[in-house]
Each structure stands twice: as C-alpha cells, then as structure tokens.
Amino acid sequence: MSPGASILHADLDAFYASVEQRDDPRLRGRPVIVGGGVVLAASYEAKARGVRSAMGGQQARRLCPDAIVVPPRMSAYTAASRAVFEIFRQTTPLVEGLSIDEAFLDVGGLGRLVGPPAEIAERLRREVSDRVHLPITVGVARTKFLAKVASGVAKPDGLLVVAPDAELAFLHPLPVERLWGVGPVTAAKLRERRIRTVGEVARLGEAALVSLLGAGTGRHLHALAHNRDPRAVQVGRRRGSMGAQHALSRTPHASTELDAILAGLVDRVSRRMRAAGRSGRTVVLRLRFGDYTRATRSHTVGKATADTTPLLAAARALLRTALPEIDRRGVTLIGVSVGNLDDNPVQPELPFQPDPGSSLDAAVDAVRDRFGSAALTRAVLLGREPGVEMPLLPD
C-alpha cells in the first residue's frame, strides 16, 4: 500500500434516482422515489424530507407527499454502471468494485504519469459528469476504511482528501456510526456508556471494547478508531456469497406466501451460482421485521453445491424456525444468500448415481436463458409479483 493518501473511494450519489433525473428533465430538482411498495432509492430532495432506502412506500409518501414515484429501470442502471466502471478502469488498473455504484481505486503509482491523487480524483469526477452525466463523490485517504468515510462525509457530489497527518483529527470527532460494523445494536451499547464519537472509542482502549462488545468486534473497532486498516485494493476478487431479497408490505403474510417467495429467491440465487460456476455450503436467511430490525439465520450443508433442491431445503428449514418470531413481529423483507463459495467442481458422492436434481436444474436454466426468466416458473409463484431483481457486478 502506498504511504500517502492514494486510495480513492468513488460512490455515485443516490444512483437509481440520479439516473432517473438524468433521463427525465422533469424530475430534476424534485423529490424522486424509485420503487413503490418499498423505496429502492431516493433523490437528495426526497432524502431531505426523511425518505430513506428500504423504507415502506406509504411511510415515504407521508414524509414527502409531493414526491414523484417512478418504477425501477434496472437495464438503465446497469448500463450507467458499466459506463462509470469503464472510466474507473481507464483511470487505474487497480479497481475493486464493491457494488454497481461504488468502487475503490488505488492511484498510488500514477503520480509521475498523471499527477497527485487529488487531481486524479477531481478528473475522475469530471469525466463521470461529462460522459455519463451523473454526480459522484470521491474520498481520498491512506486506507480503504478512511477513504470510504471521507466519501460519506463529502456527499453529495463532493471531493474530500484526508492527508496522512490529519487522519485522526478528521476521524475522531465523527459519530461512532461511521465505523464499519457499527449498526443500531452496537451503537446503542456504546451510547449507553456515553461513547458517542470515534475518538471516545479510541480512548476507551482495546480491552474495554472487547469486554463490552466481544473479541472480534472490540478488536475490529479499536483498529478502525486508530485508522489501522492494512487491506489493499484487490482486483478481480470474486464475491464470497451470492444472494437475493424480496421486500414486503407491513401487512401480515401467510407462511405459504413466505415459502413461495423463498422458493423464488433460491431459484434466482442457485441459477446465478450455476451460471458463474460456483458452489457453496452456507445458506443464510435474512429477515427484516415489522419494526425494521434485522436478523439472520444460517445453516451449513454437508457438501458444496449449486443444486436448487438441497439449498431450498436448508432455506425452508431456517424459515420454519423463524416463523414464530415472524408471527409476533411481522416481516418486511426476506433475503437468501449462499456463502462459502468456491470454484472447484463438486465431487459426486459414492456410489456414483445420476442426480435428477442437477439435470432438472440444467433444463430449467436452458429454458430461461433462451426465453427469459419468466418463461418457466414454479406453480406457487403464478400470479405473484416476483420482486425486483437488483443489478449486480459481474462475478
């Protein structure tokens, strides 16, 4: 890693909503919500009124009655993302994509060729604006962690460079929520102890943090509070998990409906895994309850697989155990992911016998690849809204 502030975190601002405002001049300067039942994205005009991603549509419209609600156009977002990532790769070969709208770039070796990192970052912002017509914020720092924090502070449509000799002066006054891994639960634990800023976390000491939050989280936050993050920008790293999710209204949902949604999600995830030549072992069920708190349940299967049947069986078992809690608290989102992915061929178990499940998956994939995802579906999904399939970076 270069010793200076040479890592860029580039993050497109309110990405989906910005694409809509770019493509429809009538939306510019007005509050825009992408997605109706659940907010997929909100323009900064809508965010200023309290609208946030993943918020229920009814709540969003109460906060911002004059918002313009538009349906998502995933193909437009994918095209915009590809154009922006092309600019990233023209800037430096060291690009690590995090999602379709953000990436880390290492420009430490480009000083003699194209100038210092701050100039490279400003040129990058100008290129994205001129060629793709979208606002983008860039943070520049010595570590990946601090570059991402800097971009968050600089939003929207900004640039912030954190010099190495000013790192802790910049970081320590920020609220604890700026630390990676600090969600509502961890933040509440810290605030109960009157620990509200990153600097107060740093002064607490590692032993006290471990005692309060556990070994892993305590050591992690202690390191970040001192800006210790040795990770380099990684090029070509394949994702460690694949997943999909489905947002739900706050109304009650029957277990049969949840099971049908779960089956559709597993179909989508397993198909992506097979297309990428990946297999995995750990099935994770993600839930967001009626009060918008979240929970995860996981199960590791006996062998790595990309077959739909064993992955769906594991996911259904996790859902069954969660149904009592869902009945009490309600559910507004179901997600499924498969982790511990690898690229190795799956070794058949002895005795070697044909696997009808694999053959069926291959036949269904072939039909959907040729005629579209909706050409063949499960009977339980007929007439149901399949949910939005979010665009993703190539694996």
Other Cβ atoms closer than 10 A to 128 = 21
Residue in the block written with tokens 């520049």:
140
Set 96, 102, 122, 200: catalytic member: 102
Query: Taking Cα atoms as reference points, which of 174, 155, 154 lies closest to residue 225?
Result: 174
The DSSP annotation for 311-360 comes to HHHHHHHHHHHHHHHHHHH-EEEEEEEEES-B-SPPPPPSS----HHHHH
Element (H, E) at 267: helix 255-276
**Contact yes or no for 162/186 (Cβ under 8 A):** no
Q: Would residue 102 show up in a list of annotated catalytic residues for this protein?
A: yes
157 labelled binding-site residue = no
Q: What share of the chain is helix, strand, coil (3-state, %, to 5)?
A: 45, 20, 35
Structure tokens at 67: 């918002």
11 labelled binding-site residue = yes
Query: Taking Cα atoms as reference points, which of 231, 232, 205 lies closest to residue 219?
Result: 205
**Contact yes or no for 72/388 (Cβ under 8 A):** yes
What's the longest Cα–Cα distance across the chain?
A: 65
**Contact yes or no for 146/154 (Cβ under 8 A):** no
Binding residues for Mg(2+): 11, 101
Binding residues: 11, 101
The residues assigned a catalytic role are: 102
